Structures are given as C-alpha cells and as structure tokens.
Structure 1
C-alpha cells in the first residue's frame, strides 16, 4: 500500500504503546539483554539478498558483534551486547545490512521490535524536517507470515546522485529481533525479492 505524507497508522501507534509499557521499567534509553552472552543468530548470505541486475552481491563485513544502526532506525537506542550486524554490497549499485538483537525475554523483543517499527514509520517525517524541500515517499509493504512475523517498509527520495530507494524490514523469532535493509539509486525497488530475503533472514535466525 502506497502512501505519501501521512502520520503513522494506528497499528504502529499501538505498538509504541506496547513498547512503552514493557520497557517502562528500565532506565530511559536502556534495552535489557541476557546477562550471559547469547548465541549469535544465523545471518543472511550475500546470495540471499535481492538479485541485482548488474552484479553479484558480496559480504563486505560480518557478521560481527556490536551496534549498527539500520536504515531509518537511528533514533532507537541499541544495546552494547548480544547484538550483531553484517553489511552487504555490490560493486556499484546497491547496499544492504542485517542487524539482529537477542533480548532477555520475548516480551522485551516484542517491545524492541515495536520501537524499531515506530522509528521506521517516522522516518519520512524526520527526513522532511531535515530537508523540507526534498519530497519523501513512504510505503507500507505489509506483513509477512514467518515465525512471529515480519513487516516490510519502503522509502523513496531524491538523493545526491539520483532517486534513492530504500527497503527496511523488521522481523522476530522468539526473543530475537532482526532488521534487514536494502538501498540503491538504480531502478525500481525489488519489493517481492526483498520480502523473500526477509523471510529467509527470519528463518535463518534459529
């Protein structure tokens, strides 16, 4: 479903309320993680990314431990432990990433996932506030039926070189949340292929 400059929907606002209620017991900005080191979840291979019309994908880093802010989620406080990231790219046209966080409980994972989704839903407004003369278009590409679920979003705007397309998804399996991103300024966004990538990412967690 495509939409232009429109406030986040009731579903996202409800998720924010859940996140506030669940995380309210922790200090501001804090995210609880297991006291012992968690096992690193499974990650995408470069070949799992949406096919690129110009070249193959390769893994440019990771997976490695440590915070890494996904696209449109820069406002979300990230833990220092039990978080892993990997980045992917093609030689010229596209880039992507996956960030996975293991939380203490499933309830906290639900809340953390809601925080990320709310940040992504607010990305359009933040970008337009930063650059009022640059129109931004936001798409809600819907839910995916995989494990505890995943949600796919799209952002489009005029970048420094040409029109920039971004895709971001948030998925969960138990107490683990994963965020996958894709971006390129060549051609139309591969929404269906990115949905398949998201399903693969969530299924590979465990």
Structure 2
C-alpha cells in the first residue's frame, strides 16, 4: 500500500510539473502585442515619425502615470515637425479579469486628470469630455481634455483612448496646441479602433 501511495503521489507530481511547463511554454510562445505605425495615426500637416517600441511605461504621462505595471508594459512615442505628439502604451495583465480592472483604473485616471491638473497648477481651466465607446474586441473609450491657462495665454488639447483585447490593455494619446475644434477626433477614433484590433 505504501508503494502504491508513493507511486500515486509521484505520478501526480509529474503531471503537475508537465502542466506547469506546458503553461509556461505557452505563455512564453504567446506573441507580443502589435503597435501602431505612423500611417495609422490621425492625418497631420507634416509627417509623423516614430521611436522604436521601448520596454516599460513612458517616462512621463500626464494622466496615467503610475497606473500600469513596469514589467508588463511597453510604449511607443510619435511626433511631427509641428509639435503634435502621440503615444501608445500597452500592458499585458496576468488574467482577463485583471485586465478589465486595469482598463477601469486607466479610464478613471483619464476622467479625473483635469481635476489633478487644476490642483497642481492653479489658474488652469478646462473641460473633459467622453466621446463614447468603440465596439472593437473588449471595447475602447475615447476622451478629450481641453485645457487653457489664461494668464499664460496657452491652450492645449489632448485626446485619450483606453482599449482592451483579452488580457491586454492599450492607451493611445494624442496632443497639440489648440482646442477641441482643431483636433482630429474622427481620425483619432479610427486610430483607436486600429490600435485595439491589431494588438493580436
């Protein structure tokens, strides 16, 4: 009986090890999420250029800094000759459930961003708008943050999107001087749909 029990325990241990190795191998073999290319960004009067995809979150993100995990995140920066900038940040969560939580956290960070800016920089005025949900993969939400500093005489417009495909969450940002009337909202929504659809 002792031999039978030992054999059973050994068989179970081997099975668990094989299952663990199979899961690890599958995870290692999973393809990395794809990023946007310059041709998929909103149209601009001067050409877009792109940095390579880099590991970790961006060095600074006005609205979402500190929300994503460093080890599971990559980002790519874009820019034009006229100081229009864009960025895509992508994080792979351990599970779909955790990805849903992360997407909700990122949406909340964007929604409350203007309040934090006003607290940090007195004198700033602005408006945050939600421009709806895009039905692609796990869904995406688009926002605009329109800010102005009357004392300085500056106005800035930022477009933000948070989207998810399975356990992967991506944030797309676009910004330039000006206001919402001069922002390519329709083009940004198309870019957002492309960003989420091409993750895998």
Normalising TM by the smaller chain, what interval?
0.7 to 0.9
Question: Does 1:172 find its partner at 2:164?
Answer: yes
Report the counterpart of residue 196 of structure 1 in structure 2.
Answer: 190
Q: Contact 1:47–1:56 at 8 Å: present in 2 too?
A: no
Q: Note the C-alpha offset of 1:177.
A: 0.1
Q: Distance in 2 between matches of 1:87 and 1:161?
A: 27
> How many angstroms does 1:97 deviate by?
0.2
Q: Which protein has the bigger helix share?
A: 2
Aligned to 1:103: 93
Shifted more, 196-205 versus 158-167: the winner is 158-167
- In 1: Cα distance, 2:154 partner to 2:115 partner: 21
Q: Which position in structure 1 is the counterpart of 2:123?
A: 133
Equivalent of residue 46 in structure 2, options 51, 55, 60: 55
Q: CA deviation at 1:106?
A: 0.1
Cα RMSD after superposing both structures = 2.0
> What residue is the counterpart of 1:12 in the other structure?
none
Residue 67 in 1 paired to residue 67 in 2?
A: no
The answer for unaligned runs of 5 or more in structure 2 is 1-23
| Shift in Å, 1:165 | 0.4
TM-score by length of 2: 0.79
Task: Tell me the equivalent position of 1:116.
Answer: 106
The alpha-carbon deviation at position 136 of structure 1 amounts to 1.5
Q: Which has the larger radius of gyration?
A: 2
Say whether 1:90 aligns with 2:80.
yes
TM-score (norm: length of structure 1): 0.76
Cα-to-partner distance string for 1:30-77 (whole Å, 9 max, x where unaligned): xxxx9x66642000001111101x201110x2212112254411242x
Alpha-carbon distance between aligned partners in 2 of 1:168 and 1:70, rounded to the nearest angstrom: 11
Task: Report if the CA contact (8 A) 1:166-1:184 is conserved.
Answer: yes
Q: Distance in 2 between matches of 1:200 and 1:97?
A: 14
